[in-house]
Amino acid sequence: MPDDARKALLSRLFDHAPMFPPARMELADAVEEDRRAQASEHAWLLGRFVVPAGTEVDGRALALVGDGQERQDDAVYLEGQTLDEVAARRVRAKIRCGGEEIPSVEELAEFVRGCRARGLIFKATAGLHHAYPTDAGEHGFLNLLAAAVFGDEEEGLREGPGAFELDATSFRWRGREALPPKLAAVRSSLFHSIGSCSFFEPVEELEKLGIL
Average pLDDT, the chain: 96
Q: How far is CA 208 from the centre of its chain?
A: 19
Closest by CA to 201, choosing from 117, 107, 100, 98, is 98
Average pLDDT over residues 40-52: 97
pLDDT tens-digit readout, 67-94: 989 999 999 999 999 999 999 999 999 9
Percent of the chain scoring above 90 in pLDDT: 93
Pairing of the two strands 191-196 and 69-72: unpaired
pLDDT recorded at residue 170: 98
pLDDT recorded at residue 1: 66
Closest by CA to 126, choosing from 154, 87, 94, is 94
Q: What are the domain boundaries of the chain?
A: 10-159+190-200
pLDDT tens-digit readout, 113-130: 999 999 999 999 998 999
Distance CA 147, CA 135 (A): 20
Q: At 110, is the pLDDT very low, low, confident or very high (cuts 50, 70, 90)?
A: very high
